[in-house]
Amino acid sequence: MTQSLALTQGDPAGIGPEIALKAWMAREAAGLAPFFLIGDPDLLARRAERFGLPVPLQPCAPAEAAAVFARALPVVPLPMATQAEPGRPDPATAPATLASIETAVGLVRAGRAEAVVTNPIAKHVLYAAGFRHPGHTEYLASLAADPDGAAPRPVMLLWSDLLAVVPVTIHVPLRAVPDLLTADLVVETARIVDRDLRTRFRIARPRLVLAGLNPHAGEAGSIGTEDRDVLEPAVARLLREGIDIRGPLSADTLFHARARAGYDVALAPTHDQALIPIKTLAFDEGVNVTLGLPFLRTSPDHGTAFDIAAAGIAKADSLIAALRLAGRLTRP
């Protein structure tokens, strides 16, 4: 039996339903593996009609999706209808959004789907409905908790053919970074990156680099001491463990083409140090990959785009890239 990728609906008022339809339309040209969408078939039908997208839909079970995929977009229906207008986020849709994610994770963990591919969600919409997790990634980690309730430590990788980056600290204010940036955090993050690059990306010996926190990586402590006192000891520990890593290196010379040829993934102390270069180089093709989970999860590297959700002009490139990467990484 051929398994498929499980695609979540995302926030139904965002562009998720639209780009899912467009991704299916591009399935042959993009060489996509079979996928099914977990959501409301009626919502998808309304969105297809509104935007003039000739996509046949077929509700089915996950096991039937691969056989359906060539002729229609397989939809695994949720047990609730979803009433949402594009561009008008509504906390009343939060249960359907979360049910789609929970179903996808459950199917993959049960061996009934190959990987989870998530459409964008809006945290503020979920918060208004009582959502208690900091974000999408942390919620996925909680769904992967073991029977004792211990959740894995997720790491966010932004991947493209041109550049792959990992922010060591993510959605925190810049003024909080020096206190959060410990040698233990850097070491734990790099270990997860190294392990998943070996097991999921099949890179025999991953080459990592670590960007400095301060300008010129601190210039031996003359421009801030974090690089000398925190990052250098972390790199030394990782080298002793046999992990191929260099740094801390000045972030302003780490992302040009010649520098990128010397590593597989760049770790950066702050969110923007990592995401600005990849979104500059590969805004439409970047993929968010969650490392550290017991299953593969990929996602577009953009949000719900409520501002254009009603216009029918959303590009599906990043979702297509996420589906393509998930298919590639799950092939034998």
**Does 271 carry a binding-site annotation?**
yes
Domain with residue 250: its CATH number is: 3.40.718.10
Q: How confident is residue 1, by pLDDT bands cut at 50, 70 and 90?
A: low
Model confidence pLDDT, tens digit, residues 72-97: 999 999 998 888 999 999 999 999 99
Residues 145 and 63 in one domain: yes
**Does 133 carry a binding-site annotation?**
no
Closest CA to 141 of 109, 112, 182: 109
> Do 94 and 131 form a contact (C-beta atoms < 8 A)?
yes
Question: Is residue 135 scored above 90 in pLDDT?
Answer: no
**Does 297 carry a binding-site annotation?**
yes
Residue 223: φ, ψ to 5°: -125, 65
Question: Is residue 162 scored above 80 in pLDDT?
Answer: yes
Residues 15 and 79 in one domain: yes
Instruction: Check the CA dihedral 62-65-67-68 and report its sign.
Output: positive
Residues 132 and 167 in one domain: no
Residues 105 and 186 in one domain: no
Domain with 187, as residue range(s), is 162-279
Q: How confident is residue 213, by pLDDT bands cut at 50, 70 and 90?
A: very high
**Does 288 carry a binding-site annotation?**
yes
Residue 288 lies in a domain: no
Structural domains counted in the chain? 2
> Do 16 and 136 form a contact (C-beta atoms < 8 A)?
no
Q: How confident is residue 236, by pLDDT bands cut at 50, 70 and 90?
A: very high
Residues 128 and 149 in one domain: yes
Closest CA to 245 of 230, 235, 231: 235
**Does 330 carry a binding-site annotation?**
no
